[in-house]
Amino acid sequence: GQQVMQIPQYQHVQEGEDFTTYCNSSTTLSNIQWYKQRPGGHPVFLIQLVKSGEVKKQKRLTFQFGEAKKNSSLHITATQTTDVGTYFCAGALDMRFGAGTRLTVKP
Amino acid sequence: EPEVTQTPSHQVTQMGQEVILRCVPISNHLYFYWYRQILGQKVEFLVSFYNNEISEKSEIFDDQFSVERPDGSNFTLKIRSTKLEDSAMYFCAIRSKDTQYFGPGTRLTVL
C-alpha cells in the first residue's frame, strides 16, 4: 500500500531560524495536503498541492510539490513561537498521513 | 470553514464495553472520515464514508468497528468491545472542496 514517510521526526530551532520538513511517498500522489496540529489540538488544513513542481506560499510558509509528485516539502522562514506544533503531510489518494514533524521553537 | 463538532469530548469506559462516538457537521456533507491518534503518535486513517456507504477502510478498522449515519446528520463510530489499545483521540473529518476539516476530537480512555 501507499506509504508516506516524513522527516525529520523532531526539530528544535531557535526563534528566527528556518525550518523544513520533508514528505516522501512510495507512489505517485494525485495531490498532497499539509496540516498543522498544535499541542492538544486537532489537525488544521494548511494547503493542498496538485500540480507537478507546484510551489505555494502562505506568508512565511513555502510549500513545494516534487516534479514526480512523490515528494513534498514545507519550509518556514524565520520561525516564531506561534509556529510550534506538529506538521503532517497527507497523501490525498486515501488520506494516509505521514508521521509528522514536531517543531519546537525556543524564544 | 465548515464546522464539525464531536461528542463526547472525553469518554472513559471499561474494557469490553461498547462505545459510540458522534460527529455532527453543521451543514450537509457527503464525505466523512474517522481517524485516530494514539497519544504522541501520528494520525491514523480508519475509514471513509461516502453517500452513506463505507468507501475505504484501513487495516485498523476491523470487525470491532462500525460506522453509520443513523439520521442523515450525525455520523457515528462504534467500537463494539473496547480494548486497552483503543485508547486514543478519535477525530472525525468532513470533506469540502478537496479539503478536510477536522473536529476537535473525542478522547477515549479504556480502563
Q: Are A61 and A75 in contact (CB under 8 A)?
A: yes
Three-state DSSP class for residue B51 = coil
Interface of B with A in 9-68 (CB under 8 A): 33, 35, 41-45, 48, 56
Q: Min CA distance, B91 vs chain A (Å)?
A: 8
The reported pLDDT for the residue numbered B107 is 97
The reported pLDDT for the residue numbered A93 is 53
Which chain A residue has the Cα nearest residue B97?
A48
pLDDT digits (tens), chain A, 107 positions: 567 889 999 999 999 999 999 999 988 988 899 999 999 999 999 999 999 999 999 999 999 999 999 999 999 999 999 999 999 998 865 567 888 999 999 99
Instruction: Decide if A101 touches B, using CB distance below 8 A.
Output: no
C-alpha cell at position A23: 514528505
Test the B interface: residue of A95, A96, A104 with most B CBs within 10 Å: A95
Interatomic CA distance for residues B42 and A50, integer angstroms: 23
User: Is B56's CB within 8 Å of A97's CB?
Assistant: no
The reported pLDDT for the residue numbered A6 is 93
Q: Are A21 and A32 in contact (CB under 8 A)?
A: no
B1 confidence band (pLDDT: 50, 70, 90): low
User: Domains in chain B, please, with CATH?
Assistant: 4-94 (2.60.40.10)
* CATH architecture entry for A4-106: Sandwich (2.60)
Contacts of A69 (CB under 8 A, 6+ apart): A28, A29, A30, A32, A52
Q: Whole-number mean pLDDT of chain B?
A: 89
